[in-house]
Amino acid sequence: MVKVEIAEHGAAAKASLGSGFFVDGQGLLVTNYHVVAEVVREPGRYAPRVVNAAGDTLVAELLGIDVVHDLALLRAAWTPPSWFALSNVEPDQGDRVLSLGHPRDLGLSIVEGTWNGLLRHTLYPKIHFSGSLNPGVSGGPAILPDGRVVGVNVSTEGNEISFLVPVDRVIELVDRITAQDYVRPDSLLTDAASQIRAYQDVYLNGLFEPDVPSVTIGRYRVPTRPAAWFKCWGDASREPDEPYERVTHYCGTDDYLYLSEGQWTGVVEVTHEVLSTDELNRFRFYTLYESHFGDGSPATWASEREVTEFRCTTRNLEREGSRLRTAICARRFRKLPGLYDVIVRAAALGAPRDGLVTSLQLSGVTWENATRVARNFLERISWSQ
């Protein structure tokens, strides 16, 4: 086990830290991508180093990354006396698992929890670990009591709901990086962009095609659960002191890719909202309706250093006698070429006292994929007159 520190060249101390573990006798070690992300984004400013159990600070080189599964491999200038051997492991639900790491730089700690299987609402598997992970343990191993690695600490939602990267993803990365024909990319940032583009090609493939399930809300028929790894929720607001009724339907995934402390990608969210009233006249309802149409905010926050401002195009679409007011907004990733955050919003026109406001949000996608998915999405919306 080691502590992975990210040092800023002009500072006298570490800028951030995580955990890592050796997987061979030549100094090869595993950690999370998000632990070393600043090294990838600004290699001229940040550099990795590792601190071993004896307290020695070791020079380290970042060899390769897997952004999709939040993994990275480093090589430390040291020959470790022992390391973790990797093999595919399939625990049973409830099996005891020990998570190792350096929480909040307090020293090596061991957290006991249980293996609770793979998450269902993700395109690529993550392990549900019932144990408490804290900042600093990211990149450390989660092991069975006999020492076999089952995964890598990656994130938590609190209340002992945490997540691990399965060990088979680690094995795949190690095999790729240690292959004889592997050449470290000149720019790991360019490699990260390439991995994200390949990922979004897969998870956006087939979304909102004609066979997508649909749901009826009032007189509106809208798409729902565009792929098996989505989960959907619905609710209605019928408060006696409100002059209108609101019914909502939401679908999203647990797939989020870490890019930096302030930027995530891999987000796909669908929200449908049907408003109706028996009390408001058509002018007051239109004001309410217009305000809901303009309420769209990005699902992922990012700073101006990472993305441009949103630019929007608004127009009316007509199909089979029905009209949709649509707005498509996009902002470009500054450091990852060819990728955008895109928001599609639409409102059904023509009714004086009810209406549908719907939105689709995509993050980290190519413009070609965004426009294709947006077109499919809008074509799946219909309503009775």
At 280 the three-state DSSP class reads coil
What is the Cα–Cα distance from 362 to 208, expressed in whole angstroms? 13
Buried-exposed string 144-170: b where 16+ CB fall within 10 A, e elsewhere: eeeebbbbbbbbbeeeeebbbbbbbbb
- Residue 179: pLDDT band (50, 70, 90) is very high
Output the CA angle 174-99-26, nearest 5 degrees.
35
Q: Which of 224, 86, 240, 65 lies closest to 150, judged by CA? A: 86
Instruction: Report the 10 Å Cβ neighbour count for 185.
Output: 13
Does the model's pTM come out above 0.85?
yes
| DSSP for 282-325, written as a single string | HHHHHHHHHHHHTT---SS---TTTB---EEEEEEEEETTEEEE
Q: Which of 256, 207, 217, 354 lies closest to 33, judged by CA? A: 256
Query: Which CATH number does the domain 2-184 belong to among 1.10.4080.10, 2.40.10.120, 3.30.70.1230, 2.60.260.20?
Result: 2.40.10.120
- Tell me what the mean pLDDT of segment 331-345 comes to: 94
| DSSP for 181-234, written as a single string | T----S-HHHHHHHHHHHHHHHHTTTTT-TT--EEEETTEEEE---STT-EEEE
Q: Please, which residues have CB within 8 angstroms of residue 169's CB and are 6 or more apart in sequence? A: 66, 69, 71, 124
User: 188-211, pLDDT tens digit by residue?
Assistant: 999 999 999 999 999 999 999 999
User: 124-176, pLDDT tens digit by residue?
Assistant: 889 999 999 999 999 999 999 999 999 999 998 888 899 999 999 999 999 99
What is the Cα–Cα distance from 102 to 274, expressed in whole angstroms? 48
What is the Cα–Cα distance from 359 to 343, expressed in whole angstroms? 7
Q: Which residue has the tokens 């070393």?
A: 36
Q: Please, which residues have CB within 8 angstroms of residue 201's CB and are 6 or more apart in sequence? A: 366, 369
Q: What are the boundaries of each domain within the chain?
A: 2-184, 198-383
| DSSP class of 104 | G
User: 73-130, pLDDT tens digit by residue?
Assistant: 999 999 999 999 999 998 999 999 999 999 998 999 999 999 999 987 788 889 999 9
Instruction: Report the 10 Å Cβ neighbour count for 277.
Output: 20
Radius of gyration of the chain, Cα coordinates, nearest whole angstrom: 24
Q: Please, which residues have CB within 8 angstroms of residue 13's CB and are 6 or more apart in sequence? A: 7
- CA max distance for the chain: 78
Sequence-ordered alpha helix ranges (H) in the chain: 33-41, 167-178, 188-203, 282-293, 367-379
User: What CATH code is assigned to 198-383?
Assistant: 3.40.1000
- Tell me what the mean pLDDT of segment 18-27 comes to: 97
pLDDT at position 184 is 92
Element (H, E) at 110: strand 109-118
